[in-house]
Structure 1
Amino acid sequence: MHIVILGCGRVGSTLAHTLEDMGHTVAVIDQDPDAFRRLRPATAQAAVRGVGHDRDVLAAAGIATASAFAAVSSGDNSNIISARVARETFGVENVVARIYDPRRAEVYQRLGIPTVGTVHWTADTILRRLVPGSAGLDVGPLWRDPSGTLVMTEAPVTADWVDHRVERLEAAAQVRVAYVVRGGEILLPRGDEALRAGDVLHVLVRAADAQGLRARLGARDGERQGR
């Protein structure tokens, strides 16, 4: 499929080359022609100089036939405006925007524009690795659906839940276990799968029920049945 990328920095150029290696066609937009030096010669041939919310620039990049649009320039306003034009004017189905301000990111998620909040996401990810099982559930979610209804976060299995079944934890904590990281491998657990020490859960929960999630995942209800 054809994909248009706004921004030819390190992220945009890497994304372009990766997508091409996957067999897709790519057009990269940037205001600075020197930025196109990051691209392979063949990729640079399809580069378009200009701003991402200019309809003529988008048209020159092939937005009319694009299946996806990624706005990864260095400006929040440019990214979100361009993403909205791609979706609302040209009807591109898959659109994502990089947003540095986490407050803006949440607003645009609710407007139906998937966002990647770079600074906030990076800080959260590092914090989870620095203090696993401590502050990990007090930082922002790993993922939030565009409507803001559902979030995903991660948490290590505590001693209270070792040897208990996934379905029991789901019922007690009011979550759905999306997957488990066990020994460096990803496991899609069945309901009767027994949790083990060292497991890291990636759970989905309604945003409205996210408060207190750490406490619910940290302790079972005292019953030992259902192991």
Structure 2
Amino acid sequence: MKIIIVGCGRNGSGLAQALSKSGHSITVIDSDADAFQHLGTDFKGTVIEGVGFDREVLLKAEIERTDALAAFTSSDESNAVIARIAREIYHVPNVVARLYDRKKAEIYKRLGVQTLSSTTWGIKRAADILCYSPLNAVFSFGNGDAELVKIEIPSLMAGRKVDDLTVLGDIHVVAIERGNKTILPTAGTIFKRKDMLYIAAMTESSGQLKKMLGLSGGRGM
């Protein structure tokens, strides 16, 4: 995957290193050239000095051909702007923004931008959102220990029962959108093609949920 990371502080540089070592093509943008020292001498990606929401900088980073973008500057406002530009103007498929203000984070989630607050931040978590995100987190509970995720039923799950996608205390299907109706399922409810599922899951069980759904890699949400 081709991924842009805006912000090369401790977290941004750590994410860049982790994704680069996983074989992804990484471009890091920061307005301070000295920040690139955090990447270390073994970093194989590209670095661009500039403001992350500047059009010329984003085009130089080839945002029009980018699979994912992470906005991790020290400013909530800048991260929100960068994420919205990437999502709405350049239609980048996977976008995540770090926002310290949880209220702002919830607003941007409703607008389709994945967010990480200071309490749920983690390099692995960000990498999972950018690279393995068929599950769309629509709400985080408490400090991020559990999430409500939304996903269209995989074709292989059609005809199976809700009970087949339940792990007591960890994974529960709480609602199903079917056509123009929303139903609250029982354990015996049968999934149908094109069902949209809302699943409450503990964050630590996300890999298990993906395996149960037949999604690749069993990686986190």
- TM-score bin, normalised by smaller chain: 0.5 to 0.7
**Residue 67 of structure 1: CA displacement?**
0.5
Residue correspondence of structure 1 range 143-182 to structure 2 within 5 A: 143-145=147-149, 171=186, 178=201
> Does residue 6 in structure 1 map to residue 14 in structure 2?
no
Across the aligned residues of Structure 1 and Structure 2, the Cα RMSD in angstroms comes to 3.7
Structure 1 counterpart of 2:159: none
Query: Could you list the per-position Cα deviations for residues 114-138 of structure 1 after superposition, in whole angstroms to 9, with x for gaps in the alignment?
Result: 111123x36xxxxxxxxxxxxxxx8
Query: Could you list the per-position Cα deviations for residues 60-117 of structure 1 after superposition, in whole angstroms to 9, with x for gaps in the alignment?
Result: 1221211000001111011010011111121111101000000100111111111111
Q: Which runs of 4+ in 1 moved over 6 A?
A: 179-182
> Does residue 139 in structure 1 map to residue 142 in structure 2?
yes
Aligned length: 154
1:109–1:145 Cα contact (<8 Å) kept: no
Residue correspondence of structure 1 range 30-69 to structure 2 within 5 A: 30-41=30-41, 43=43, 46-69=46-69
Unaligned runs of 5+ in 1: 123-137, 147-155, 158-165, 190-227
Structure 2 counterpart of 1:77: 77
Query: Could you list the per-position Cα deviations for residues 1-40 of structure 1 after superposition, in whole angstroms to 9, with x for gaps in the alignment?
Result: 2100011011111111111111111010111111100113
Structure 1 counterpart of 2:154: none
SS at match of 2:46: coil
**Shift in alpha-carbon separation, 1:28–1:181, aligned structure 2, 3 A:** closer
Identity of aligned residues (%): 41
Alpha-carbon separation, structure 2, partners of 1:186 and 1:110: 26
2:148–2:200 Cα contact (<8 Å) kept: no
Structure 2 counterpart of 1:163: none
1:27–1:62 Cα contact (<8 Å) kept: no
Alpha-carbon separation, structure 2, partners of 1:40 and 1:5: 16
1:180–1:186 Cα contact (<8 Å) kept: no
Alpha-carbon separation, structure 2, partners of 1:11 and 1:55: 24
**Shift in alpha-carbon separation, 1:47–1:110, aligned structure 2, 3 A:** same
1:68–1:93 Cα contact (<8 Å) kept: yes
| One-letter amino acid of the counterpart of residue 109, structure 2 | Q
| One-letter amino acid of the counterpart of residue 143, structure 1 | E
**Shift in alpha-carbon separation, 1:45–1:94, aligned structure 2, 3 A:** closer
Structure 2 counterpart of 1:28: 28
**Shift in alpha-carbon separation, 1:186–1:45, aligned structure 2, 3 A:** closer
2:28–2:46 Cα contact (<8 Å) kept: yes
**Shift in alpha-carbon separation, 1:176–1:53, aligned structure 2, 3 A:** closer
| One-letter amino acid of the counterpart of residue 53, structure 1 | F
Alpha-carbon separation, structure 1, partners of 2:26 and 2:9: 15
| One-letter amino acid of the counterpart of residue 37, structure 1 | Q
Alpha-carbon separation, structure 2, partners of 1:14 and 1:180: 21
TM-score, normalisation: structure 2? 0.58
Alpha-carbon separation, structure 2, partners of 1:30 and 1:180: 31
